[in-house]
Amino acid sequence: QIKVEDVLFAMVKEVENRPAVSLKTSPELAELLRQQHSDVRPSRHLNKAHWSTVYLDGSLPDSQIYYLVDASYQQAVNLLPEEKRKLLVQL
């Protein structure tokens, strides 16, 4: 599990013997990605509207994966109280 403060934004794991990461995104982005890429699927056991499993050994380019990880991180940061967000900016 990968968190910023106490907010979970990613989980690295194996799914069906394939390396994968589950990322939290907006429902709109999650739906768009699932329509465009067969290696992006709803995450099991998580809120499927927000969480997508991204297979790391498939057709999704690394640059797209980096973008999604960053978007997930930024979404988690935006959920933090303002005081904690300011501390992160100072680091």
Percent residues over pLDDT 90 in the chain: 85
SS3 for the chain, per residue?
CEEECCEEEEEEEEECCEEEEEEECCHHHHHHHHHHCCCEEECCCCCCCCEEEEECCCCCCHHHHHHHHHHHHHHHHHHCCHHHHHHHHHC
Query: For the chain, which domains are there?
Result: 2-90 (3.90.1150.30)
25 and 52 Cβ atoms separated by less than 8 Å: yes
Q: Is this structure's pTM higher than 0.85?
A: yes
| Dihedral of the alpha carbons of 32, 8, 74, 53, in degrees to the nearest 10 | -20
pLDDT tens column, 40-68: 999 988 999 999 999 999 788 999 999 99
